[in-house]
Amino acid sequence: MSHIIDRRKNDKGKSTGNRQKFLKRVESQIKKAIPDIISQESIKDSSTGGSVKVPVRGLDEPTFHHDPKTGKKQSVRPGNDKFSEGDRVPKPKGGGGGGGRGKGSNSPEVTEDEFTVVLSREEFLKYFFDDLALPNMVKKLMDSTDNFEMRRAGYTRDSVPSRLNIKTSYQQSLGRRLALKGVLDKKLALLEEQLSLATDPQLKSTLTEEVEKVRRQASTLPFFEDIDLRYNNFERVPIPVTSAVMFCIMDVSASMGQHEKDVAKRFFTLLYIFLTRQYKNVELVFIRHHTEAKEVSEEEFFNSRESGGTVVAPSLKLMEQIMRTRYDENWNVYCCQASDGDVWSKQDATECKQLLLENILPAIQYMAYLEISNSPRESDLWQAYNRISDDDSFSIRQVYEPFEIWPVFQGLFRKRSVA
Amino acid sequence: MTDKEKYRAMFCDPNWDYETLQAADEVISRIGQEYLKLKIYPNQIEVVTSEQMLDAYALTGLPTSYPHWKFGKDFVLNQSNYSKGRMGLSYELVINSNPCISYNMENNSTCMMLLVIAHACQGHNAFFANNYMFLDWTSADSIVDYMAFAREYVLRCEEEHGEEEVEKVLDAAHALMNYGVDKYRKPSKLSALEENERLKKLTLIRHENYNELWRTLPKSTAELETGALDEGRFPKEPEDNILYFIEKYAPALPAWKRELVRIVRKVSQYFYPQGATKVMNEGFATFVHYHIINKMFEEGYLNDGFMLEFIKSHSGVLYQPEYSSKFYSGLNPYTLGFNIFMDIKRICQEPTEEDKAWFPDLIGKDWLDQVLYVMENFRDDSFILQYLSPKVIRDMKLFTIIDNEGEAEFEIGAIHNERGYRRVREQLAAQYDRSSHIPNIQVTRVDRHQTSKLYLTHYMQRDRKLETKSARQTMAHLRYLWGFPVELHSKNKLGINESSFEIK
């Protein structure tokens, strides 16, 4: 007799383990390909859903097999339409002889020795951030216990009267009374039986007394006793900070060309992806500046172009203002500044330094400054920042080509052991 | 009769449910048994989704298997081909086990479900249960059990010795998987329980007999002499089951690695008949579904619409592109096998003069008896050599191409004419012989005096050499398992070395 089983509801992840093993085997190749993927894909692609294709090679499983080019081979083909015995046909050029190996209808033909692995967004990010983590982040997550929420957590026997839970207390009392009454009833039944059998008057009177006593006990069971009382219990549960805001500050003065913007954009993207991985909710604030600072949309931030000189300090002031007004201490604040290093005057640079040191850095998690320039000369801003950067909460780097971003990124966010 | 009408209504509705499958299985089983006299294992029909089918593909059809990246790679590959539409999934997948497990795709129409149940649950099932190759070389009763054991064992090894080391052993054993088959000795039956018992006993014996003192004893002179005699030539006969040889004689392989090699060898053994009966198996299953569905139509279970869909699918299965077509990728085993089986039936029923000369034994016999006899007692090469008739050669317009190394042209060797039938037939049979695509490599000598070096000989056929890069990598795997230097010589038919591979 046949059994018919509907397996559709069963797990479908039977191959997951083996797939992981396979990915592990090609891990080094995937990691090598990731910088390429970042530089090729547009920023929006890499921060939204979807999948990533990674070409992989060198996974052939060797066996002993014949070299198709050698020897005397003969094969049978179907559909002869023109040949007679002894006919000679020129071999196709460059083809490896026979070709057309017999293949079962079930097996897909694989001719390339390279194929693409499709990584899910999750997997891609795992590789992407494998050995990276923001400094202080773990610390902040642990520190964030300064936010608590009171949550119901069962009942307790000891608390203030206002938290008394009447229903549960009553249940307790009911149980207690039933239990005690049961015992007394049994005792009573036993005594009454003895009483009815007793003949000796002395014994009879003691038994009657006894019965009376038990009856009284049974009728005077207290309705509530202290042990019945149950109070609602509350627990202080730390709420992890799950929101982060990222400020992107960019110089859009005339000196920033398309190339510089492009590099900056990639840098912002990397941080953004990283934050979306770490926090449930990441908000972006874009501030651009030339001589004055302005908060803009992402579109405008990257695409419109302004001209004029550069003053940096107003943008930092704007950032601080936004931070204070819109984001309370429940937000993790990150800041990314990209510039070509040009400032109007030394004084501006000094003002920036002061702003950072006194107002901004103490309030935020991390700040990164990226100087996009290929000149060996240290800019004024760089010099100013260099004095206060400690790589722990404020890092600065100089890059010029897009391919330099990845190593810089790694350097900026290298995983630190949680001390 | 109302039953039949109810069934008819069910079968002709393109949407199926559990009752439809049950009814289909009932009718099809009855026809299989009464009309085609099939003896089968009980069926376990499982309805699966495409993802589950991909899982089953990756494990080469087994319901469970030991963990290895190779299966993950196949899965990733199939999945990406499938999602790109480059590859379709088959309608069913059937496992040589008792009960016979078959996976049916959920998105099959009712017609496809019936076809698949007839094809797999009767055709393939009967083939597994009766063909001598499967009976002798596999143990359908215990394969699922055994694979569960293998999985457990490999997982345990991973825990004890680390995934990497296990992977190394399995990779190496996989490279030699084609050389893990006892082609002449019939293997003993498998059972997970016995396998576990065997392992326990082995360790127990080792524990009991272990005594540090024994190692200090000098060997007796008699032993030395016989030992010396033995070492004159080892192994005495060349051994073509390389994995077996490693499991048995590798000098320094730890016991657990031997066990892993054994598992791979057993799996290889299990799949050996599948490779050797592809044409027959598919041909017979197609023959069976064709007869069962037609019989159901005759008996009034099916309507014309159903039959149109059936004929379309059936001819799709039998599509054989011609050699010059861009869709050509070798002979379709379904077509070839089905044509030969149908022709056996025709020869039994309406022989021509030609048939009388070619197949005197078939004339006047009962066609079903003959078909079942063939199904039970042959494998692809012998099947073709015996039963490929001139008519099938003509119908399929078969011809042979000779491709000699060093010549600029192909030569047409034989075509579908009087002079060519036999040669086409022999050639096609040879093509399905395992030795034509798997190089004949055997263990010929082990140097037991000094180096423990393992010598292999490749007996070249038709001057075909080994592919160098792959051979070298495979030798490296062999070196890993053997633990000592390995060397391989390719000898041509005069016994002269053509090429050598050595890994120290």
Q: Cα(B397)–Cα(B294) distance, rounded to whole angstroms? A: 27
Torsion of CA A69, A75, A79, A84, to 10 degrees: 90
**Residue the block writes with tokens 């002061």:** A354
What letter does residue B239 receive in the DSSP assignment?
B
The answer to whether residue A52 neighbours chain B at the CB level (below 8 Å) is no
Put simply, whether B61 touches A (Cβ < 8 Å) is: no
Of residues B443, B458, B479, B487, the one with CA closest to residue B235: B443
Is residue B45 within a helix (H) or strand (E), and if so which, with residue range?
A: strand B43-48
Distance CA B360, CA B490 (A): 43
The two beta strands, B454-459 and B440-446, are antiparallel
pLDDT at B153: 92
Q: Would you call A107 an interface residue with chain B, using a CB distance cutoff of 8 Å?
A: no
Contact between chains at A78 and B322 (C-beta distance less than 8 A): yes
Q: What is the DSSP string of A172-210?
A: HHHHHHHHHHHHHHHHHHHHHHHHHH---HHHHHHHHHH
Q: State which amino acid sits at residue A213.
A: K
Query: What are the residues whose beta carbons fall under 8 Å from the beta carbon of B479, sequence distance 6 or more?
Result: B485, B486, B503
Please indicate whether, in this complex, the C-beta atoms of A5 and B44 are within 8 angstroms of each other. Answer: yes
CB pairs under 8 A between A and B: 280
pLDDT of A134 reads 38
* Substitution target from A9, A11, A12, A15 for chain B, most B beta carbons within 10 A: A15
Angstrom distance (rounded) from CA B208 to CA B215: 15
**Residue indicated by tokens 């908060």:** A295
User: Which one of B399, B404, B456 makes the best mutation probe of the A interface by having the most chain A beta carbons within 10 Å?
Assistant: B399
Residue B93 pairs with which residues in a beta bridge? B103
Nearest CA among B121, B80, B85 for reference residue B103: B121
pLDDT tens, residue by residue, A271-287: 777 666 666 677 888 88
Q: What are phi and psi of B271, to 5 degrees?
A: -85, -10
Q: Any CB–CB contact under 8 A between A109 and chain B?
A: yes
Determine the Cα–Cα distance for residues A110 and B74; give it in Å rounded to an integer.
Answer: 11
Q: Is A340 exposed, middle or buried (0-12, 13-18, 19+ CB in 10 A)?
A: buried
pTM over 0.90: no
Contacts of B419 in chain A (CB under 8 A): 85
Cβ neighbours of B474 in A, within 8 Å? 62-64
**pLDDT lower than 70: segments of chain A:** 1, 12, 34-58, 93-116, 120-148, 238-242, 274-280, 303-308, 391-392, 402-419
pLDDT at B41: 93
CA-nearest of A183, A300, A7 to B21 is: A7
Q: Compute the nearest-CA separation of A272 from chain B (Å).
A: 29
A76·B67 Cβ contact <8 A: no
User: Which of B334, B304, B380 has its CA nearest to residue B90?
Assistant: B334
How does DSSP assign A59-110, residue by residue? -------B-TTSSEEEEEES--SS--TT-EEEPPTTS-TT------TTSPP-
Interface of A with B in 9-48 (CB under 8 A): 10, 12, 14-15, 17-25
Q: Which helix (H) or strand (E) is A124 found in, with range?
A: helix A121-128
pLDDT in tens, chain B (504 residues): 567 888 888 888 888 888 899 999 999 999 999 999 999 999 999 998 888 888 888 887 787 888 888 888 888 878 777 777 666 667 788 888 888 999 888 888 889 899 999 999 999 999 999 999 898 888 888 888 888 899 999 999 999 998 889 988 999 999 999 898 887 766 666 667 777 787 788 777 777 776 666 666 665 555 555 544 455 677 888 888 999 999 988 888 898 999 999 999 989 988 889 889 999 999 999 999 999 999 999 998 998 989 999 999 898 888 898 888 888 888 899 999 999 999 999 999 999 999 999 999 888 889 999 999 999 999 999 999 999 999 999 999 999 998 888 888 888 888 888 888 999 999 999 988 888 888 999 999 888 888 888 999 999 888 888 888 889 989 999 999 998 999 999 888 887 887 888 888
Inspect the interface and report whether the beta carbons of B468 and A67 lie closer than 8 Å.
yes
Chain A nearest CA to B482, separation (Å): 16
CB A340 within 8 A of CB A263: no
pLDDT number for residue B131? 93
Q: Do B42 and A1 touch (CB under 8 A)?
A: yes
Tell me whether the omega of the peptide bond preceding residue B235 falls within 30 degrees of 0, making it cis: yes
Partner-chain contact B87 A108, CB within 8 Å: yes
- Where do the structural domains in chain B lie, given as residue ranges? 2-131+277-310, 318-435, 439-503
Residues present in chain A in total = 419
The rounded distance, in Å, linking the Cα atoms of A36 and A54 is 10
Distance separating alpha carbons of residues B221 and B228, to the nearest angstrom: 10
* Contact present, B130 and B277 (Cβ < 8 Å): no
Both structure tokens of B127:
């083939």
Cβ within 8 Å, pair B408-A17: no
Tell whether A376 is within 8 A of chain B (Cβ).
no
CA distance A6 to chain B (A): 5
Q: Tell me what pLDDT residue A100 has.
A: 39
Question: Residue A167's closest CA among A228, A226, A227?
Answer: A228
Residue A387 contacts B where some CB pair is shorter than 8 Å = no
In this predicted structure, what is the pLDDT of residue B122? 93
pLDDT for res B215: 64
pLDDT value, residue B384 = 94
User: What is the residue-wise DSSP string for B168-225?
Assistant: HHHHHHHHTGGG---SSSPPPPP-HHHHHHHHHHHHHHHHHH--GGGGGSPPPHHHHH
Say which CATH superfamily domain A243-412 falls into: von Willebrand factor, type A domain (3.40.50.410)
CA of B386 to nearest chain A CA: how many angstroms apart?
Answer: 17
Cross-chain CB nearest to B410 (options A81, A85, A89): A89
Measured between CA atoms, the residue of chain B closest to residue A5 is B46
Which residue in this structure is represented by tokens 């992989």? A56
Which residue in B52, B177, B438 is closest to A7 by CB distance?
Answer: B52
